[in-house]
Structure 1
Amino acid sequence: MMIHRRLDTLGWRMTLYSLAAIGCAAAIVFAGYVGARMLLWFHPPLPEPALYISIIRWCVNNIGFGPVMIICFIPLYVLFLHRFSRPLLRQMRQLSNGMSMVADGNTSHRLPVSSGDELGRLSSQLNHMLDQLNQAMNEERTALQSQNHLITGVSHDLRTPLTSIIGFLGYVESDRYRDEIELRHYVHIAYEKSLTMQKLLEDLLDYTRITYHAQPLQSTSLNLVQLLEQLAEECVPMLEQAGMEYRLTSTDSLIRVSGNGDELVRLFENLFSNAVRYGSCGYWLDIQLQQHHDQVIIRCINYGQPIPPEELPYLFDRFYRADAARSSYSNGSGLGLAIVKSIAERHHGSVSVQSNAAQTCFEVILPAS
């Protein structure tokens, strides 16, 4: 294998082509020499010999066999060398044409790799470079589309509460209210809408910071059981307001993961608030933990209305909200579950959802530490 690799180079190919051309040219010249000798041997001197015999004798007497053989050898060598080098020349033309097409902007073109020598490796490296260039261009195009969608989504979601705020403050500014009770009502609505805008902006900042890695992940070893117990207790007022209770079960009292505590808290806060928002009619919020080999599996289960199957693939998209029946529970920002997905992936984990008539289960998988 090593010898084959050393021989499979451009220099060795040209050497072999030259040796083959020399051998073929020498064989033909030698055959011509033997043939000329035999012709002279079998044709004794005559007063009027054949024309080709006269030409041979003149060349031998005036030039000599050696110079004639050299004169014949040179064009034969060039002819055979050109013939044997055709695959190499064809490969060079293909490489040149391909590079011209790439220079003209055709990055989808791929150069043929027909050998393992320097030209073949150059073609392979250029193809790899084109693949990386196309990947970078696709990522840039995707990032630009994502940025445009983000701007469009933010603009759309900010416009509705902002329009309400401007409208009700316009009533106050122009004294278009009957009494102080109506004035307070208008101010209260404007205040509630401003809180909605504040929540949306906070979610948006968190999403961009987490998704685009504005800050490097600072990980520590965390006892996830203790973290979720504390977080669930902090959510008790929200659960009581919705008429719910939580049940936390774990296969072990100590399950450790490596991650950023603040971000993991945000992840499970979003899952808990989502479960309360859409599962209050089911009474229970079940939080289940288990460690399976090198993975930690956390399930957040509510027993509210099921999510339609056609909506499940889009739940973790930015600004996606479920159907009107489920969305009527809250005017969410549409970023909560997108933040959950970003945090999970930032911690080298994943999140998924399953929903049926009995329950809706969000499953987070994180690497164990």
Structure 2
Amino acid sequence: MLSIALVLLCLILVLLFRHFQLIREIKKIIKITRGIQTGNLNLRYRLQISQRDIENLGGELNRLVDYFQNGFERITFLEEERKRMIANISHDLRTPLTSLLGYTEALKFDTSLTTEEREDFLRITSEKGNALLVLLQDFFELAKLEADDFELKLQKINLVEIVPEILLSFYPDFVKAEITPIIKLPETPLYAQVDEVCLRRVLNNLLSNALCYGIDGKEIGIALREEESLVWVDVWDRGKGIPAQDIPHIFDRLYTGEASRNSSLQGTGLGLTITKNLVEKQGGRIIVTSAPNEMTVFSFCLTKG
């Protein structure tokens, strides 16, 4: 009887010990959850006993904390992006608006202006107004792209036909800037699965960008090439190039690199961001390489048709 009593006593002690261990682990989990409520996302649960249910619960708790921490970091990043974008939008809107108001005030109150000066002021006011309109249109287009409020109509298109047509539309700009256009196309048709409207916008953006930043090089080119199941389109210029530190950010919205805030250059600062979005919507990707004062190349790929 004594031996049975001792066995029962030992069993009771073991159960009590296990019970207090479980209570201790549960208290640790409660402490972690309370810490999370106060914003401390660095807490993690570490199991001290071998208990499958508690282990599963602790694992789920850690995964939940990781999820919230990643979400918090993402929210912080997006908030910083939002602040930066608002600052840049304010800058880009304020500049043309200030000019518009200045020229309008001069036209309204300055009676000493000659007819020629008034015509010149009206021309500048019109240009500033159009620039502001383009900026707002780009903002709306980018917002639609990022919200996936955009319907693609992919179809098989011969790039050998459409690329020269788009390049030809820039001919007056090339003549005015004394730029020599160069085009390299295969002798046979080259088809790709694309949305024609998107493709035209991408090429217009890249050629406009080349005109803005590559005008000093006096050469702008476009070429088509095949690579397995892909078609690559290269748009290049021989301007001053892109600094190495700017290349990783070149497709960011309103990136404030040295060149991107040069008021003497036309552009909204959104063109390349829109271009990247449009290329990726069609299942492609876009890259840029630049050798200062030699050649800058924007290359994007599309699925072969």
TM-score tier, shorter chain, comes to 0.7 to 0.9
Aligned pair partner of 1:80 in 14, 27, 30: 14
Matched, 1:299 2:211: no
1:120 and 1:325 map into 2 onto residues whose CA distance is: 54
Contact 1:353 1:361 in 2 (8 A): yes
Map residues 27-66 of structure 1 onto 2, 5 A cutoff. 66=1
- Displacement of 1:83 in angstroms is 4.1
CA spacing shift, 1:95–1:338, aligned 2, 3 Å: same
Kept in 1, the 8 Å contact 2:156–2:191? The answer is: yes
Q: How far does residue 116 in structure 1 lie from its aligned partner after superposition?
A: 8.0
* In the alignment, structure 1 residue 224 sits paired with structure 2 residue 159: yes
Counterpart of 1:310 in 2: which secondary structure? Answer: coil
Paired with 2:260 and 2:199, the residues of 1 have a C-alpha distance of 29
| TM-score normalised according to structure 1 size | 0.71
1:364 equivalenced with 2:284 (yes/no) = no
Distance 1:143 1:198 in 2: 26
State the structure with more CA Rg: 1
Post-superposition offset of 1:192: 1.6
Q: Aligned partners of 2:303, 2:68: CA distance in 1, in Å?
A: 33
The structural deviation recorded for 1:87 is 5.9
Give 1:110's aligned amino acid: R
Task: Say if 2:104 and 2:125, in contact at 8 Å, map to a contact too.
Answer: yes
Decide which of 48, 53, 65 is 1:118's aligned counterpart.
53
Match of residue 179 from structure 1: 114
Q: In the alignment, what sits opposite 1:168?
A: 103
Tell me the alpha carbon deviations over residues 250-294 of structure 1, each in whole angstroms, 9 at most, x when there is no partner.
457444443432222211111111112222333332212222223
Structure 2 unaligned spans of 5+:
none
Q: Hey, what does 2:123 align to over in structure 1?
A: 188
Q: Which structure ranks higher in relative contact order (CA pairs < 8 Å, sequence separation ≥ 6)?
A: 2
Structure 1 gaps of 5+ residues are 1-65
Residues 5-154 of structure 1 mapped to structure 2, 5 A cutoff: 66=1, 68-83=2-17, 90-112=24-46, 117-154=52-89
Which residue of the other structure, out of 102, 123, 135, is the alignment partner of 1:200?
135
Q: What residue number does 2:201 align with?
A: 266
**Contact 1:222–1:258 at 8 Å: present in 2 too?**
yes
Q: Distance in 2 between matches of 1:177 and 1:334?
A: 37
SS at match of 1:106: coil
Residue 290 (structure 1) aligns with: 225
Higher helix content, 1 or 2: 1
* 8 Å Cα contact 2:287-2:298 kept in structure 1: yes
Instruction: Report if aligned partners of 2:210, 2:237 keep a CA contact under 8 Å in 1.
Output: yes
Q: Distance in 1 between matches of 2:261 and 2:68?
A: 44
CA RMSD after TM alignment: 2.9
- Aligned residue pairs total 303
Amino acid at match of 1:358: E
Rounded to whole Å, the distance in 1 between the matches of 2:3 and 2:252 is 82
Give the 5 Å matches for 1:235-274.
Answer: 235-251=170-186, 253-274=188-209
For residues 327-348 of structure 1, give each alpha carbon's deviation from its aligned partner in whole angstroms, at most 9, with x where no partner exists: 4752321122222222233334
Displacement after TM superposition at 1:69 (Å): 4.5
User: 1:113 & 1:84 partners in 2: Cα distance?
Assistant: 14
Q: Percent identity?
A: 25
Contact 1:278/1:329 (CA < 8 Å) preserved in 2?
no
Distance 1:297 1:126, change over 3 A: farther
Secondary structure at 2:246's aligned position in 1? helix
Misfit runs of 4+, over 6 Å: none
Q: What is the TM-score of this pair, normalised by structure 2?
A: 0.85
